[in-house]
Amino acid sequence: MAQKLIYYMKIWVAMMADAVLVNVAVYLALYLRFDTPRIPVFYLDPYLRVAPYFTVATVLLLWVTRIYHRLWRYASWRDAQVLILSLFGSSVMLGLALFISRTAHYSRAVYLLYALFAVALLGGWRFLLRSFYDISWSPRSRARERVLIVGAGKAGQLVAEELLRHPEVGLAVGFLDDDMQKVGFQIGPLKVLGTTHDIRTIVRDHQIDQVLLAMPSASGRVIRPLVEECRDLGIKVRILPAINQMIGGQVSVRQIRDVQIEDLLQREPAVIDLGEIAGYITGRVVMVTGAGGTIGSELARQVAPFAPRQLVLLGLDETSIFEIDRDMRLRFPDVPVVPIVADLRDRGRLERIFGAYRPQVIFHAAAHKHVPLMEQQPDEAIDNNVAALWQLADMSHRQGVETFVFISTDKAVNPTSVYGATKRIGELLVRVYASRSSTRFVTVRFGNVLGSRGSVIPIFQQQIAQGGPVTVTHPDMVRYFMTVSEACQLVIQAGAMGSSGEIYVLDMGEPIRILDLATNLIRLSGLRPGVDIDIVFTGIRPGEKLYEELLTAEDETRTTRHERIFVHNEPPVNASDMLGKIETLIRRAADVSRPELMALIQAIVPEYQPALKSRVITAEEGTTRAIRS
């Protein structure tokens, strides 16, 4: 109650100050117009008659434009723009008041002078208040570290302002920027000291303790050499997250964080056709299966800004569905979210869900994905990744769903694992339904996403936190990686493109050695591979390959209108024969021997070659083969 009283008292004081100052501004405008403190009565009296109404109207205008609801200690140019436009509007109101009263007619110069004086007076006391807070109310603790900001763009300037307000975080010394036209110039309180090529000299000359990368749109290709340079110099390097990870695109000291592996692998932001995506999502009921997983939850977050009529989040794990539901309600309070815990294999439950919510767009991200685990339980992989997909696809066809997007994997190409084979069968099943349904069925195939649950990066991070060793299966193992944000952007974009039955393949960039990933993670933790943390080779696990493929050597692709999305050309599928084989596989999966099950899979996916069980390197062998560099 006391806080609310103080809040309204502050507004009241501001309104009273403005009421006085707008009248002072009118007097100053008339004084300057006539160049005498004794303003002619026939000019001053008409104003005095309308002054009460004009003053109240101006204060109300400032209230409507929320001038009194802004924290001026954090004022920005945007706030100043609103104030300036409001006061020029007040100038128009002054003219209208005098015109309606028919008592006087001022020259246009008076109205312009009034607006300028009003901006100077009303804006002046507000920005003096901001300066007072910056100088007097900011924490007085001496900054521990001298900070060099890389990037003198808008983000860099906002970071510099934040550091000035929070000197306990760091003392901003200057900028680096590769735009030669900025070098040597002052941007706000700081000078652009040089380009990134001068970083060694500037760090030494200015005794820099920390480098802050303020380039939210920069790719990993730009960030990697800077991080390496800072590591060689022995100084800390921190970063602002990418724009799409920032809350509302705003910069805050709370968002400054350590460099993560995703930053080193980040590519230039994909160009997304917002209108095309909105055309099939806005106003529709969208369902995401596997919504509690890494890909499913990110799909939900990226679908929400397109204003679906309803967003149905379906998954089997109640904890993850609870968490994504809570996250969505905090981030997107205006989007109707429906959390559902259900098993896609339960046909009766699925029918009730479709009957209740009538989904129009479905992103199917639910799947068992852990390769070694599915090698041990192939019948479960078939039941969840094939039978459940068939049931969902059939329900979508019967219920008239508009668009069905199936998430596949690079492990479906020349599969050596049960998981990869089930995903390839899923691709074929989706193509069968595409050939016989009015629903637009499409498949999107891509590689690994960074940081997904149970994937290599969280495992490496846990091993590093425990002091090592970090276990790598093989020194030559490579994988395609993509940030989950980019992968989901392209999945949603692909859902808006092309014809039913197409398999879209995402451009994953260059494959990355798992060994390089491990060494980078160790270094990002401030440790040395082979000195502080050992890397041990354990041997390829059952079902794994040294490298993954997005296409076979015989496959053909064609480009699309998006530079990172390609269409994989495949021959037509014999629908009845394919469905018969898949039905046999599902029916017999739990009852036959492993060799018989592999034969059933190969009848559908001839290119499936089960990997021989790899010899696991013993701990003693692994220690002798550890990377020590």
Identify the CA nearest to 478 among candidates 545, 420, 409, 552.
545
Per the residue annotation, which of 369, 411, 545, 581 is the catalytic one?
A: 411
Alpha helices in 178-293 (DSSP H): 199-205, 220-233, 261-265, 274-281
**Helix 294-303 / helix 318-331 crossing angle, nearest 10 deg:** 20
**Under 8 Å between Cβ of 628 and 530:** yes
Instruction: Determine whether 411 is an active site residue.
Output: yes
Q: Residue 220 class from Cβ within 10 Å (0-12 exposed, 13-18 middle, 19+ buried)?
A: middle
Q: What is the dihedral of CA 131, 136, 137, 140, to 10 degrees?
A: 130
Distance (Å, whole) CA 45 – CA 52: 13
Q: Mutual orientation of helices 77-101 and 41-64 as an angle, nearest 10°?
A: 140
Q: How far apart are CA 328 and CA 148, in angstroms?
A: 36
Note the Cα 343 to chain centre separation in Å: 29
SS3 of residue 254 by DSSP = helix
Nearest to 506 by CA among 436, 565, 462: 565
- H or E element, residue 600: helix 594-604
How far is 69 from 231, CA to CA, in rounded Å? 45
Q: Which residue pairs from 282-285 have beta carbons closer than 8 angstroms and sit at least 24 positions apart in sequence?
A: 282/306, 282/307, 282/308, 283/307, 283/308, 283/309, 284/308, 284/309, 284/360, 284/361, 284/402, 285/309, 285/310, 285/312, 285/357, 285/358, 285/359, 285/360, 285/361
| Residues pairing with 568 in the sheet | 503, 557
Q: Three-state DSSP class for 34?
A: helix
What does the alpha-carbon distance between residue 561 and residue 129 come to, in Å, rounded to a whole number? 52
3-state secondary structure 85-137: HHHHHHHHHHHHHHHHHCCCCCCHHHHHHHHHHHHHHHHHHHHHHHHHHHHHH
Measure CA 510 to chain center: 22
Query: What does DSSP assign to residue 384?
Result: I
Q: Residue 313: helix, strand or coil by DSSP?
A: strand
Which amino acid is residue 408, in one-letter code?
S
Residues designated as active site: 411
